[in-house]
């Protein structure tokens, strides 16, 4: 029982630490704030290719979180990076990964693509 409580405490502590770290390194934007700035930035959809093909924000480039480590050199560290995924979880993880590699101007969409009401493009 003690071991289970220790493990549970460690998981909670890690989750809180991750949440606080994420708030420090990536700015969460409302849809209006995101829409106002993403055209002057690198707009990256970190969802998987089939999710991207089903519909994505007009002008977004697809670099799935699973490929981000290998494709990081495609991103310019001197320009803002606007990230989004389906709900906001993967884009937060992507921001942490980018931050560790020296990227600092990071933003992500609150609520993710599922709450997006702006222009959308689908691949046919």
**Domains observed in the chain:** 26-121 (3.40.250.10)
User: In the structure, what pLDDT confidence band is assigned to residue 22 with cuts at 50, 70 and 90?
Assistant: low
Predicted local distance difference test score (pLDDT) of residue 122: 86
First to last CA, the chain: 54
User: What global pTM score does this model have?
Assistant: 0.82
The SS3 assignment for 58 reads coil
The mean per-residue pLDDT over the stretch 86-114 comes to: 94
User: In the structure, what pLDDT confidence band is assigned to residue 23 with cuts at 50, 70 and 90?
Assistant: low
Report the Cα 65 to chain-centroid distance in Å.
8
**Considering just the CA atoms, what is the radius of gyration of the chain in Å?**
16
Spatial distance between the Cα atoms of 2 and 23, rounded to a whole number of angstroms = 32
Q: Which two tokens stand for residue 102?
A: 């020296």
Q: Residues with catalytic annotation? A: 85
Q: How many CB atoms lie within 10 A of CB 107?
A: 21
pLDDT digits (tens, 9 = 90+) for 27-72: 999 999 999 999 999 999 999 999 999 999 999 999 999 999 999 9
């Amino acid at each position: 029982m003690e071991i289970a409580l220790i493990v549970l405490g460690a998981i909670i502590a890690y989750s809180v630490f991750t949440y606080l770290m994420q708030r420090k390194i990536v700015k969460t934007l409302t849809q209006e704030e995101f829409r106002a700035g993403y055209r002057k930035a690198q707009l990256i959809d970190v969802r998987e290719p089939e999710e991207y093909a089903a519909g994505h924000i007009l002008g977004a480039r697809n670099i799935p979180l699973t490929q981000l480590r290998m494709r990081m050199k495609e991103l310019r560290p001197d320009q803002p990076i606007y990230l989004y995924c389906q709900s906001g979880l993967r884009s937060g993880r992507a921001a942490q990964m980018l931050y560790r590699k020296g990227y600092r101007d990071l933003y992500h969409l609150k609520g993710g693509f599922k709450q997006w009401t702006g222009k959308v493009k689908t691949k046919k």
